[in-house]
Structure 1
Amino acid sequence: MTTPRQHVKNAAGFVLVWLVAKVAHRVRFRAGEIPRTGPVILVANHLTMTDPLAVARVVIGHRRFPHFLAMQEVFGWPGVGALARVTGQIPVARGSAAAGDALDSASERLDQGQLVALYPEGRLTTEVDRMPGPARTGAARLALRHPEAVVIPIGTWGPQQGHHHIWHRHTACLSVGPRLDLSVWAERTDDAAAREVTDVIMTAIRDEIGHAQQMWSAR
């Protein structure tokens, strides 16, 4: 049960993230179906350090609040770390034995009917064409662990890596895709299933990037 104090924290989180996100980007998005209630897993490509704010704008526009899996270092950054802690984001201790704890925390959020957002690549995209590179299986394992959760792919285009986008408000185009049908892998949590579902997730993200690129060209 959500306490009055939690309601206040949630409301503050909405306002804080909305304001920061609005300053960072002009967001244009192609609407998809992000359910208003129940557990949701969002998966997206990761172009820059600020594109989670663009994703957050879209999610909040659907009257949901995102909980991102973010590298632990972010929580130590001045200002940004405080915002991440206050809004209940999930730290990931990359490259350590504790890295799996983030998926456990994400599972708890899904059990509570919340929305969790992940970048399957586990890092910023480094490919020359800015398309997603090899992905890790964390998002797929989370989806297999929670078959009741709706999995939604998002494709982002626009902001580029570097410092320029941090100091200038750029347009970010996002395409929100339809929910993924993962019923073929029902009741499976093995490594092969995780790899197959990862491929499905990345194919869906690339499809949505194509739509986002069209939006970017027509802006």
Structure 2
Amino acid sequence: MTTPREHVRNAAGFALVWVAAKAAHRVRFRTMGSVPRTGPVILVANHLTMTDPLAVARVAIGHRRFPHFLAMQEVFGWPGVGALARATGQIPVARGSASAADALESASERLDQGQLVALYPEGRLTTEPDQMPGPARTGAARLALRHPEAPVIPVGTWGPKQGNGHIWHRHTACLSVGAPVDLSPWAGRSDEAAAREVTDAIMAAIRAEIAQAKQMWHAR
């Protein structure tokens, strides 16, 4: 049960993220209406810039859901940004350490509570010259296999320039939200091969939504 204090924190989180997202981006998105209003959800996306989580957050909030991102631990030490991340219940990831798996445990707990968890399967910024996602890690797939009740919703982003060069310039971000990824072929499995195959299915779905977002961006 949500306590009054949690209601206040969630309301403040919605307001803070909304303002930050509006300042960073002109967000345009299309959706298949596939983000449930209640219950656990896993949102997966490509990762072009350090600010595109705000665009993805804007999409989640547009569906009346508040996202809990898996974010690199360093973010929590940045002035202002770190305080916002902590206040809104984001999940730190200590990349390359033995405790990195703790982030998936925290994400799993969020899903058990019926919340929306957002993550980037690549685990880093996209660096490919064509701006398409590169190799992905299996964290999102493992989380999905562990929580078959949580739909995996792919999001494709296009428009923001790669890296951080644009960070002080407001720009247009086009996002396409797809239908849940069909993971029924892997029902009941949790082995390494299943995690790798599910990762491939997730990334294929993200790439399909990037193609839609790219069309939106050129037609804007």
Cα displacement (A) at 1:215:
0.3
Q: Which residue of 1 aligns with 2:95?
A: 94
1:115: which partner in 2? Answer: 116
Any conservation in 1 of the 2:28–2:175 contact (CA below 8 Å)?
A: yes
Work out whether residues 50 and 164 of structure 2, in 8 Å CA contact, stay in contact via their aligned partners in 1.
Answer: no
In structure 2, distance between residues paired with 1:156 and 1:34: 16
| In structure 1, distance between residues paired with 2:165 and 2:107 | 32
The alignment partner of 1:29 has SS state of strand
- Is 1:210 the counterpart of 2:211? The answer is yes
User: What is aligned with 1:15?
Assistant: 15
Describe the superposition over 1:92-127 as per-residue Cα deviations: whole angstroms up to 9, x where unpaired.
Answer: 000000000000000000000000001000000010
Judge conservation of contact 2:45–2:154 (CA < 8 Å) in 1.
Answer: yes
The Cα of 1:81 is off from its aligned counterpart by 0.2
The corresponding residue for 2:44 is 43
Which whole-Å CA distance do the structure 2 matches of 1:184 and 1:164 have between them? 42
C-alpha distance after superposition, 1:123-175 (max 9, x if no partner): 00010111000000000000000000011000000001244421111000000
Output the CA distance in 2 between the equivalents of 1:90 and 1:135. 19
Measure, in 1, the Cα distance between the counterparts of 2:163 and 2:68: 25
What is the correspondence of 1:47-196 to structure 2 with a 5 Å cutoff? Answer: 47-196=48-197
3-state SS of paired residue (2:27) = strand
**How much has 1:183 moved relative to structure 2?**
1.1
2:5 is aligned to 5
Structure 1 distance, partners of 2:97, 2:26, is 36
Q: Which runs of 5+ in 1 are unaligned?
A: none
Identity %: 84
Cα RMSD (Å): 0.7
Counterparts of 1:204 and 1:146, CA distance in 2: 19
Deviates more, 1:26-35 or 1:113-122: 26-35
Supply the distance in 2 between the matched residues of 1:122 and 1:139 (Cα, whole angstroms): 10
For structure 2, the residue ranges without an aligned partner over 5 or more in a row are none
Tell me how far apart the structure 2 counterparts of residues 43 and 167 of structure 1 sit (CA, whole Å). 25
Report the TM-score when normalising by structure 2.
0.98
What's the CA shift for 1:64?
Answer: 0.2
> What do residues 3-27 of structure 1 show as CA deviations (whole Å, max 9, x unaligned)?
0000000000000000000100000
Aligned pairs, how many? 219
State TM-score, norm by structure 1. Answer: 0.99
